[in-house]
Amino acid sequence: MFAITAFSLALLSSSVVAQAAPPAPPLESGVCLDSTRAVPQVLQAPVSRAMQLVRIDQVVSTATMTPGEIIGFLYTTHDGTTWLAERTSDYLSPASAEAINKVLAATHLAGPKKNQFPPVTRYGVPTKAPLYFQVRIPPDAYQPLRIQVVPCVIWPATRQLPDPSMKF
């Protein structure tokens, strides 16, 4: 009887400790789930230190029926610019595509004329559509856009970035 009671108490105390553990810190390098780029890769041409990724954040919808649904990624380059991208097509639902396009329409900076994410391929043929759009999302816009931005991968500020021309 004493053994069963001790075992039950040990099980209960270990579950309490597991629940109280803080959330895991963001990774220091690598990809974030199905993001198309990884920290510290270059986001897109031209290959330069300014275009090296130092941060990837998840764009999480607060308006979808699935709580915490990731609808896209926000990439931050070494020069401080932020770029919005969709999830890969295997993980993107029509509702997620509509939600990320609303974020893009409200936060897109001047540049390419396109203001939405079209498919990357159509019937297996590449469309050559842009994968990343430069955006600026002020923190006070999260609630009206019905999103949250959750850190995923952050390059440590104390560590020097590797040579951007190196392939990963």
pLDDT tens-digit profile of 34-72?
Answer: 999 999 999 998 899 999 999 999 999 998 777 789 999
What pLDDT is attached to residue 95?
86
| Res 150 pLDDT > 80 | yes
What pLDDT is attached to residue 23?
58
As a whole number, the mean pLDDT across the chain is 84
Residue at token pair 């509509």? 98
pLDDT tens-digit profile of 79-90?
Answer: 999 999 999 888
Rounded to two decimals, what is the model's pTM? Answer: 0.81
What pLDDT is attached to residue 8?
54
Of the candidate ranges 82-86, 106-110, 142-146, 151-155, the one whose mean pLDDT is the lowest: 106-110
What pLDDT is attached to residue 15?
45
User: Which of 57, 60, 55 lies closest to 80, judged by CA?
Assistant: 55
Instruction: Please indicate whether residue 138 or residue 121 has the higher confidence score (pLDDT).
Output: 138
pLDDT tens-digit profile of 72-115?
Answer: 999 999 999 999 999 988 888 888 889 999 999 999 887 766 77
Instruction: Please indicate whether residue 37 or residue 118 has the higher confidence score (pLDDT).
Output: 37
